[in-house]
Amino acid sequence: MKFVVIGPTFPFRGGISHYTTLLVKHLRERHDVRFFSYRRQYPKWLFPGNVAADPSANTLYEPCERIIDTLNPLTWVATARRVVAERPDILLLQWWTPFWIPLLLIVSRAAHRAGIPVLYISHQFIEPDSSLIEWFFARMTLRLADGLIVMTEEEFGMARRVLPGKPIRAGHLPTFDVFTPQQLSRAAARQQLGVDASAPLLLMFGFVRRYKGLRYLLDALANTTQPVQLLVAGEFWEDEQVYREQIARLGLEQRVIVHNRYITNEQLEPYFAAADALVLPYLSGSQSGVGMTAVHYGLPVIATAVGGLAETITDGESGLIVPPGDRAALTRAIDRYFNEQLADTLRAGMIQARARLSWAALIRIIEELSHELAGARAGVRASGPVADDRHLGHHTGI
């Protein structure tokens, strides 16, 4: 099939850029893919993080045409014309923030007028820390989809209610297999990072934002039965000093290490090799690219039961799941992990999770739905009742 995919790639930062690039990479193994990306992404005044280029020396990149400027509507119209001129079997778009609504509306409507089916992948209906008005914009945009793939069972149910009659699949966020692991030893990784060679070590990785629950993790850490250390690695999107004060108030200065900076691709593996477990104490959200990086490296995860985290991480098999915002439960999970020495058991479970959450499984879902949409647009009756549109692999481990 022929696809047109629109989204960010290197040199833009963040998980969505990595995801889009990996999506194109794996689609291109089986299909003809035209990839349109951005010359300029978020303007600084709308973006709380660092908008500078990804400084990684080892880059994740797929050839693309950079034809979209977020501040120039003429490029949005030009992109829509390019989509129509390419005549793809499927226009594959992504929803993750309302910032892109004008572009999405223009290209979706142009595709419809040209008879091109539009398939959306929704990473999250509304962003964490956002108001419910974003849900209105999400519905407005996703109603332009001919088919939809969501990342969690919860959002599958929501989509069935608000988008009746649409072909919908419950997909998954695949492993972030950005680079082949170098098999760095725990000791060598800790030496590189300058952390204690023998202390039990938790990792919290990625942009630090309110919804990610660091303050709850710090409270939980203060009450563990062992002197567990915590390495916080990633850019702070809020005031670091607030957390520094909390660390001092809890007497954790010797147990919490903060690396407030963007971690480049080549610096990634030491963090996941050094840690005994990754912690995702999220208060809200849909999925976590950081969590999928942990799956790639086989690092067990202690996470909260928000969004699809409890679908990705199986409690007692590949990690531990606790209620969000529950400091005591998080303390108990950390104690259990180290006191019961669960590392080897949960690492074995991560091997199974890595196979279940592969890119190959997601590509099969995209192909299945794309063939249905293309057939329907050509006047061929789509097979199977719409109400049963969840993909088989989500339950059979394909």
- Given a contact cutoff of 8 angstroms between Cβ atoms, the answer to whether 214 and 282 are in contact is no
| Highest-scoring range by mean pLDDT, 86-100, 124-138, 320-334, 340-354 | 320-334
Topology (CATH level 3) of domain 2-174+358-396: Rossmann fold (3.40.50)
Angle between helices 289-297 and 15-28 (to 10 degrees): 60
Q: Which of 102-106, 154-158, 362-366 has the lowest mean pLDDT?
A: 154-158
More confident residue, 231 or 172: 231
Domain edges within the chain: 2-174+358-396, 186-356
pLDDT value for 244? 97
pLDDT the model gives residue 393 = 38
Measured distance CA(268)–CA(1) in Å, rounded: 35
pLDDT reading at 383 higher than 70: no
What does the alpha-carbon distance between residue 242 and residue 264 come to, in Å, rounded to a whole number?
25
Is residue 374's pLDDT more than 60?
Answer: yes
Please tell me the predicted confidence (pLDDT) of residue 157.
87
Do you know the residue count of the chain?
A: 398
Report pLDDT digits (tens) over 2-35. 999 999 988 776 778 889 999 999 999 999 999 9
Q: What is the share, in percent, of the chain residues with pLDDT greater than 90?
A: 61
Mean pLDDT of 150-168: 88
* Bridge pairing between strands 277-280 and 301-304: parallel
Domains 2-174+358-396 and 186-356 share a fold: yes
Q: What pLDDT was estimated at residue 36?
A: 97
Task: Work out the average pLDDT over 140-161.
Answer: 89
pLDDT at residue 56, rounded to an integer: 63
Q: What pTM value is reported for the model?
A: 0.79
Pick from 60-64, 112-116, 142-146, 297-301: least confident: 60-64
Name the strands in the sheet holding 2-6, side by side, starting at the edge strand that comes first in the sequence: 65-69, 32-40, 2-6, 90-95, 118-122, 147-150, 168-170
When pLDDT is cut at 50, 70 and 90, the band that residue 389 belongs to is very low
Q: Answer yes or no: is pLDDT of 385 > 60.
A: no
pLDDT above 70 for 339: yes
Give me the amino acid identity at 44.
Answer: K
Mean pLDDT of the chain, nearest integer: 87
Cα separation of 243 and 213, whole Å?
11
Residue 186's pLDDT is 93
Query: pLDDT, tens digit, for every residue of 259-313?
Result: 999 888 788 999 999 999 999 999 987 788 899 899 989 999 999 998 888 888 9
pLDDT of residue 32: 98
Over range 336-341, report the average pLDDT: 96
Residue type present at position 256: V
pLDDT in tens, 291-300: 989 998 999 9
Band of the pLDDT at 138, cuts 50, 70, 90?
confident
382: left (phi over 0), alpha (psi -120 to 50) or beta: beta
Give the pLDDT of residue 381: 41
The arithmetic mean of pLDDT across residues 47-73, rounded, is 75
Structure tokens at 182: 């170098």
Q: Which CATH architecture has domain 186-356?
A: 3-Layer(aba) Sandwich (3.40)
Burial of residue 245 (number of CB atoms within 10 Å: 0-12, 13-18, 19+) = exposed
Q: For the residues 116-135, what does the mean pLDDT come to?
A: 80
Write down the pLDDT at residue 27.
Answer: 97
What pLDDT, on the 0 to 100 scale, is given for residue 122? 92
Lowest mean pLDDT among 45-49, 184-188, 205-209, 384-388: 384-388
391 and 147 Cβ atoms separated by less than 8 Å: no
Tens-digit pLDDT profile for residues 87-114: 999 999 999 888 888 999 999 999 999 9
